[in-house]
Amino acid sequence: MTAYILRRLLFIIPTMFGIMLVSFVVVQFAPGGPVEQVIAKLTGSDTGATSRISGGGGDFGARGAAQGGAQFDAVSSKYRGAQGLDPEFIKKLEKQFGFDKPAYERFFIMLWNYARFDFGNSYFRDVSVIQLIKEKLPVSMSLGVWMTLLTYLISIPLGIKKAVDDGSQFDMWTSTVIIIGYAIPGFLFAILLIILFAGGSFFDWFPLRGLVSENFWSLPWYKQILDYFWHLTLPIVSMALSAFATMTLLTKNSFLDEIRKQYVLTARAKGCSRNQVLYGHVFRNAMLIVIAGFPGAFVHAFFTGSLLIETIFSLDGLGLLGFESVLNRDYPVVFATLYIFSLVGVVVNLLSDLTYTWIDPRIDFETREV
C-alpha cells in the first residue's frame, strides 16, 4: 500500500501540470483580457460583468484616462478600443498585469509561485486571492457540509428500505417521487420554493438572501443557530434534490445486489433474523461503494456548489466568485481556484481509494497500476 500511495502522490505532479497547461493555453485565446477590461471601463464601453471591475485596476485606469485625454492623437494600440489612449499608459497596464512577458515565461512563473502556494493578488479587487477565498469559504462550506449530510442521512435509510421492500407499493411510489425530483433542475426547484415559501405568491416563511440576518451577531447563541439554518433551508433543499435521488437509487441497487448473493441465503438458513442478516452481513458489503464515495461527494458539494443556487439566493460563495472572475478575466483568481480545487480533487481521489481498503481489507491496490 505504501508503494501505491507514493506512486499516486508522484502522479499528482504531471496531472496538475497538464490541467494548468491546458487551462492556460485556452485562456490565451479568450478575447477581452484584463487590459481590455480596463480600456472598456475608461472608454465607457464596459457592460455586464465588466462593469463590476473596481479596485486596483480601476484606480490605475483613472490615472490613464487623464493621460489618454491629453494625448488623444496617440498611435493605435493592438487592444480593441484603445484608440486615443497613450501607448505608454497601455504598456504600464501590460506591466501591471504581467503581460509584458512572453506567455511561456508567465506560465512557468505561475507554476513556481503556485508550487509555493503563492497565489498573488486579484487584478481588480485589490486583495489577495487567499483572502478572497477565505471570505467566500463559509458560504460554500455551509452548502457543502449540510447538503452532503442531509443527502446521506435521508438517502441511505430510504435506499435500504426500498431494497428490502423491492417491488412493493412503497418502493413504487417513492421511486416515482425520486425520478420526478431528479428530473427537475435545481435552479427551477429553487424558484418554486421561493414562490411558495419566500414571499413570492403564497407564504413568507424563509429569507430570500444572505447566509445570516443583519442582526445575527446581536442575537443569543441559540437564536444564531436557528437564524443560520433558517437561511440555509431553501438553498440546501434545492441543491440536495438531484444528489438525494442518485444516492437513494445507488444504495438500493447496492443492497439488492448483495441480498441476492449466496452468503445471505446461508445466513438465513442458519436461522439469522432479517435484521441480523441485513445489518450484520449485508450492510458492510453493500455500503462499500456508498461510503467510499463520501470524500468525493463531500468535496464536490463543498467546492462546486451550484452557481445558480448561490445567485438565486444571493449567497456570495466560491461558485459565484469563480464565475465573476471568469467574466472579468481576473486571471489570478481563476487560476488559483482552479489549482486549489484540482489539487484537492486529486488528493480526494486517493483518499477514496484508501477508504475502500479501510472498509474492505480484501481490496489491495499494491498490484494495481496507477
Residuewise pLDDT in 10s, the chain (370 residues): 777 788 888 888 999 999 999 988 888 777 777 777 777 777 666 544 444 444 444 444 444 443 444 343 333 446 665 565 667 777 777 777 777 788 888 899 999 999 888 888 888 787 889 988 888 888 888 888 888 888 888 888 898 889 888 888 998 999 898 888 888 887 888 888 888 888 767 888 888 878 888 888 888 898 889 988 898 888 888 888 777 888 888 888 888 888 888 888 888 888 888 778 887 778 777 777 777 667 666 666 666 556 778 878 878 888 788 788 888 888 888 899 888 888 888 888 788 777 777 766 666 666 555 4
| Predicted local distance difference test score (pLDDT) of residue 17 | 92
| Predicted local distance difference test score (pLDDT) of residue 108 | 92
| Predicted local distance difference test score (pLDDT) of residue 21 | 93
Measured between alpha carbons, how far is 71 from 84 in angstroms, rounded to an integer? 7
C-beta separation of 113 from 120 below 8 A = yes
| Predicted local distance difference test score (pLDDT) of residue 125 | 81
* CATH classification (class only), 133-327: mainly alpha
Q: Of 284, 286, 300, 292, which Cα lies nearest the Cα of 159?
A: 286
| Predicted local distance difference test score (pLDDT) of residue 45 | 61
Delimit the domains of the chain by residue range.
Answer: 2-124, 133-327
C-beta separation of 325 from 334 below 8 A = yes
DSSP letters along 248-291, please?
A: HHHHHHHHHHHHTSHHHHHHHHTT--HHHHIIIIIHHHHHHHHH
For the entire predicted model, the pTM comes to 0.70
Alpha carbon 40 to its chain centroid, in Å, reads: 30
| Predicted local distance difference test score (pLDDT) of residue 77 | 45
| Predicted local distance difference test score (pLDDT) of residue 173 | 92
How much helix, strand and coil, in percent to the nearest 5, is found in the chain? 70, 0, 25
Measured between alpha carbons, how far is 108 from 292 in angstroms, rounded to an integer? 36
Alpha-carbon dihedral 259, 265, 270, 273, rounded to 10 degrees: 30
Which residues have a Cβ under 8 Å from the Cβ of 311 and sit 6 or more positions away? 320
In terms of DSSP H, where are the helices of 270-367? 274-277, 283-292, 294-303, 307-312, 318-327, 331-359
In angstroms, the Cα distances linking 73 to 40, 86, 366 are: 18, 8, 70
Measured between alpha carbons, how far is 187 from 151 in angstroms, rounded to an integer? 17
